[in-house]
């Protein structure tokens, strides 16, 4: 366990084979011009209550960790990965810190903000389904051949049904993501003055779940896709939303090492998030903008 904790503080990203996507408002990476010292990027970790996972039992058994430890390692691992991606282009302030003053400010930010579900654009949701379909092609073929030998029926089900005493549901609704809302706008003035902040990156929620769109028989196989999804929002120092969306990566159900998941896949999601954070350019005087 100590080795895992040490790794989370010092890991180096390595190449990974993964399908990664970013969905959100139709905004590409832009440039913000600021004057003076307001050039820092503040990164806020997700609230612990907004960690959603389907795989904690497998992760716990494989790594000897309890729920609180698993959640804490993923929270810190994501924060480390974001810092690793951001530090080249930004002066970063991490609000995930073992410092009483910073923790107090983090709680102030949590109390000053809220959350809102928004729909992911339909065309992007369809693109995500295509990725999952490609990943599952071989797995589905094997599952169907196995089922034929057993004489089972594999017609996919939709709607709501009861199976083995369980009420199951396969909704056809649009996917949603968790966006950030602002309750107390004074929080921006406070952070700008104290931390010289120019940009605010809020990690709103972390999901680690079975990939959507799976057919029920796939869960009986040894290899089916899981999905890491990061919900996030970016605000400027005036409290205006610059971008809000999700970044997604997929990995195999055979991967249960928390170290490998963080190094190979959480880091990939962090890269996708940072692609949507505007570049900060600090000008000494307004005259420079006239050139």
Q: Average pLDDT for residues 183-188, to the nearest whole number?
A: 97
- Per-residue pLDDT tens for 102-132? 999 999 999 999 999 998 755 445 555 555 5
Q: What average pLDDT does the structure give for the chain?
A: 77
Q: Which of 3, 127, 166, 154 is nearest to 73 (CA)?
A: 3
Instruction: Delimit the domains of the chain by residue range.
Output: 15-28+36-140+175-284
pLDDT of amino acid 11: 45
pLDDT at 271 over 80: yes
pLDDT band with cut points at 50, 70 and 90 for residue 195: very high
- Per-residue pLDDT tens for 136-160? 554 455 445 544 544 444 444 444 4
How many CB atoms within 10 Å of residue 88? 8
Q: What percent of the chain has pLDDT over 90?
A: 55
Q: How far is CA 226 from the centre of its chain?
A: 13
How many CB atoms within 10 Å of residue 256? 17
Coil, strand or helix: which one is 30? coil
| Of 14-23, 133-142, 173-182, 249-258, minimum mean pLDDT range | 14-23
pLDDT band with cut points at 50, 70 and 90 for residue 39: confident
pLDDT of amino acid 13: 34
Q: Which residue has the tokens 């159900």?
A: 253
Give yes or no for a contact between 46 and 72, defined as CB atoms under 8 angstroms apart. Answer: no
- Per-residue pLDDT tens for 67-93? 999 999 999 999 999 999 999 999 999
pLDDT band with cut points at 50, 70 and 90 for residue 224: confident
- Per-residue pLDDT tens for 47-56? 999 999 999 9
Coil, strand or helix: which one is 118? strand
């Amino acid at each position: 366990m100590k080795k895992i904790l040490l790794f989370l503080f010092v890991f180096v990203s390595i190449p990974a084979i993964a399908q990664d996507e970013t969905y959100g408002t139709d905004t590409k990476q832009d440039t913000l011009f600021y004057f003076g010292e307001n050039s820092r990027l503040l990164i806020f970790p997700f609230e612990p209550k907004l960690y959603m996972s389907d795989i904690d039992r497998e992760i716990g058994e494989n790594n000897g960790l309890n729920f609180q430890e698993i959640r804490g390692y993923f929270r810190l691992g994501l924060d480390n990965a974001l810092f690793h991606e951001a530090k080249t282009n930004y002066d970063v302030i991490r609000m995930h810190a073992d410092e009483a003053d910073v923790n107090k400010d983090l709680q102030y930010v949590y109390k000053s903000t809220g959350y809102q579900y928004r729909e992911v654009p339909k065309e992007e949701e369809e693109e995500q389904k295509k990725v999952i379909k490609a990943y599952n092609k071989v797995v589905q073929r094997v599952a169907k051949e196995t089922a034929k030998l057993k004489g089972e029926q594999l017609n996919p089900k939709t709607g709501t049904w009861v199976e083995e005493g369980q009420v199951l549901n396969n909704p056809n609704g649009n996917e949603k993501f968790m966006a950030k809302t602002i309750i107390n706008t004074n929080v921006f003035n406070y952070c700008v003055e104290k931390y010289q902040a120019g940009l605010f990156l809020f990690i709103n929620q972390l999901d680690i779940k079975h990939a959507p769109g799976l057919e029920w028989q796939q869960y009986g196989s040894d290899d089916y896709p899981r999905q890491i999804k990061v919900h996030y929002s970016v605000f400027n120092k005036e409290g205006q939303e610059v971008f809000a969306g999700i970044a997604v990566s997929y990995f195999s159900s055979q991967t249960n090492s928390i170290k490998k998941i963080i190094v190979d896949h959480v880091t990939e999601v962090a890269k996708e998030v940072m692609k949507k954070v505007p570049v900060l350019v600090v000008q000494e005087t307004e005259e420079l903008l006239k050139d």
